[in-house]
Each structure stands twice: as C-alpha cells, then as structure tokens.
Amino acid sequence: MASFAYACAPFLHPRKSKSARKTELSENEELEEIHLEQGRAAINRVLETNRFDPEVSEMLHNVLALSDSLTREIMVPRTDMICIEKDDTLEDFLKLCSRSGYSRIPVIGNDIDDLLGIAYMKDAVRATIFNNAALSRPIESIMRKPMLVPELKPADDLFHEMQQTCHHVAVVVDEYGGIAGMVTIEDALEQIVGELQDEHDHTQHGEPRQIGEHKWSMPARTPIAELEDIFEIDLDEDDVDTVYGLLTKLLGRVPIVGSSAVTRGLRLTAVDSAGRRKKVSTIVVEPESDVDQTTLESDADSPDSNSTKKEQD
C-alpha cells in the first residue's frame, strides 16, 4: 500500500492549477510538471507489475482518469439539482433536508440561474436548536457564499482547490455564466474509489412486486411499458421511458421521497431513495379513485412544493 500512496501522491495532494502552470513559466512550476509526469509514469510502471489486487489497480487507473477529466463530467447536472427559494423558512429547509437526504442545498431567487448561495443543514440546526422562533427566519439569513467553478475546469484541479479552501460543494457555471450543475468533493473521490454507499440505502433491485390488491412497488427504472401491462392501461407517454421519468415529468421537478402525482387514474409516490446523491429508487403505483385527468397532489405545507427543478440538486 506504500507504493500505492507514493504513486498517487502527485495527484492527490494540493498543487497549483493547470491554468496557472500555463501562464507562469517559473522553474518551480516546470519542476512540478516534471514531478507530475514522473508520478504518472510511476503509476503506469506499478500497474505493469500486476502487484496489486484488481480493486487497487482500478483505483490507480481512476487516479489517472481523474487527471484527464473535466468538472462537467463528474457534476450533478442542473436537471437533477434540488434547490430551495430564498423566501422559504429554516423550517422548510430542514424538512427538505429530511425528505431529500441532502445537507447542502443551493438557494435561488427568481430561477436557478439566479443562484444566491448555499444553505447548510448544520447552520440551520445551530440557529434553531435552542430557538424555535428562528424556524420562521428566511433561509437566505444563513446561506453561505457559493464557490463558483467553470465546467471546463480539470477535475483534479477542482479536487485540490476544494481541499485547500475547505469547500465541500461548488456550483458549476457554463461559458455564458448560467448554472450548469453542482459538484461535491465526494463526486471527485468517487471517481477514484467508486460509489460511496450510505448505510441507510435501501435500493430496490429486480422486478416490480405486488404489495396490495392493486398496489405495486416498482424500481424507479421500471419501463413505462411494464407499468402499462400491469395496470392494463395506455399512458401514451412517448417522451419518457421509465416510471421515474414519468413522475419527474408530472411533477415538473426532481422527485424526492414523498413526492406524488396522479395521471390517468394512477397515483405514483416516491417512497425510497438510494446512493449518496439520494436519487429516488422506489416508486409505489396504485389506482386513484375518482380521478379522470392529470393532477398534482396538493402539498402546500410541504417544502417540496416550493423546492423546484428550475431550467437546475
């Protein structure tokens, strides 16, 4: 393992960005570039010896891949971002954290491109734990200034910058200044060590299963055609392929646990999430009586009703 740490050291420890190395042609930077190339060569030599288990060899390959990746390749795209509006309260925010599984959520104004900051669950807890009155404060009262990074920033440079500045999350912007997505330091780590599993994950794999007389629990990736066969219905949805896609379309935003919508007499409810990004993994589908057109569940007292996927956690 010592050889592994030595080989990875040039890639995993803070250094100056590639853009800085291109603009400042000092002796120190030339030496740094040489050391990086030596580190890359060292990893390749180690891989050729077949001295490590396949898992370790894969990590070494991933270290090299990270140095060749861009931020946009590892970010959460704006379509999958969960946001909260600036006028929502700390109570709304804490409820959203509980339902979504996220502890850091972007705060937006008029739309997702009007990004104002990042709200941290720990800040909201500190503000309210001994002061219930603070639950009614607007979320913008505790938000932090966001770290903004270009989508073309090399992923390894991003990783090192986040280490140096102690940021755990950054907002990714495109060449026009719009929001492209967001990225966490864990996203970079996953490129090296693989997906980081949560001990509370309960991902449903396999086939849909019947849990009531007319009630089915379905993996989020269940094809629409399979849902139609089970309930003997034609949804006529040509622009979505899965049950998750259908629920997303009906809501007009990214679903989180508890999100629910009705279409053609069927109610779809997100009941479980999985993975570090807490993407909905299981959806319960059941008939909704006395419904003959697409409607959305009235959920005005839920933070999910104000937390939108804007065209975006």
Out of 138-142, 159-163, 171-175, 188-192, least confident range? 188-192
CB proximity list for 19: less than 8 A, separation 6 or greater: 157
Which pLDDT score is estimated for 306?
41
Which pLDDT score is estimated for 279?
82
Which pLDDT score is estimated for 190?
76
Which pLDDT score is estimated for 169?
94
Q: What superfamily in CATH does domain 73-193 come from?
A: CBS-domain (3.10.580.10)
Which pLDDT score is estimated for 199?
47
CB proximity list for 122: less than 8 A, separation 6 or greater: 103
Mean pLDDT over the full length of the chain: 78
Identify the band that residue 79 occupies on the pLDDT scale cut at 50, 70 and 90: confident
Query: How many other CB atoms are found less than 10 A from the CB of residue 51?
Result: 11
Range of 134-148, 190-204, 252-266 with top mean pLDDT: 134-148
Out of 52-56, 152-156, 228-232, 261-265, least confident range? 52-56
Q: How far apart, in whole angstroms, are the C-alpha atoms of residue 70 and residue 187?
A: 12
Domain extents for the chain?
2-68, 73-193, 209-305
Which pLDDT score is estimated for 291?
39
What is the token pair recorded at 229? 């066969």
> Side by side, which strands form the sheet with 84-85?
84-85, 104-108, 115-120
What is the token pair recorded at 189? 């780590």
Identify the band that residue 156 occupies on the pLDDT scale cut at 50, 70 and 90: confident
- Give the pairing type, strands 169-173 and 148-150: parallel
Q: How far apart, in whole angstroms, are the C-alpha atoms of residue 23 and residue 297?
A: 55
pLDDT, average across residues 55-84 = 78
Q: Do domains 73-193 and 209-305 have the same CATH topology?
A: no
pLDDT tens track for 107-129: 999 999 999 999 999 999 999 99
Name the architecture of domain 209-305.
2-Layer Sandwich (3.30)
- Pairwise pLDDT comparison (214 vs 35), residue with the higher score: 214
Query: How many other CB atoms are found less than 10 A from the CB of residue 206?
Result: 6
CB proximity list for 40: less than 8 A, separation 6 or greater: 10, 64, 67
Closest CA to 107 of 269, 250, 313: 313
Distances (CA, A) of 125 to 121, 183, 273: 6, 23, 23
pLDDT surpassing 60 at residue 211: yes
pLDDT tens track for 185-201: 888 777 666 565 554 44
pLDDT tens track for 51-67: 666 666 566 666 666 66
Q: How far apart, in whole angstroms, are the C-alpha atoms of residue 113 and residue 181?
A: 10
Identify the band that residue 274 occupies on the pLDDT scale cut at 50, 70 and 90: confident
Distances (CA, A) of 120 to 50, 84, 161, 204, 309: 44, 12, 20, 29, 19
pLDDT, average across residues 46-51 = 65
CB proximity list for 153: less than 8 A, separation 6 or greater: 17, 70, 71
Give percent of the chain above pLDDT 90. 44
Distances (CA, A) of 240 to 92, 116, 224, 229, 243: 30, 32, 8, 16, 8
pLDDT surpassing 60 at residue 35: no
Which pLDDT score is estimated for 207?
86
pLDDT, average across residues 221-230 = 92
Closest CA to 221 of 207, 210, 231, 200: 207
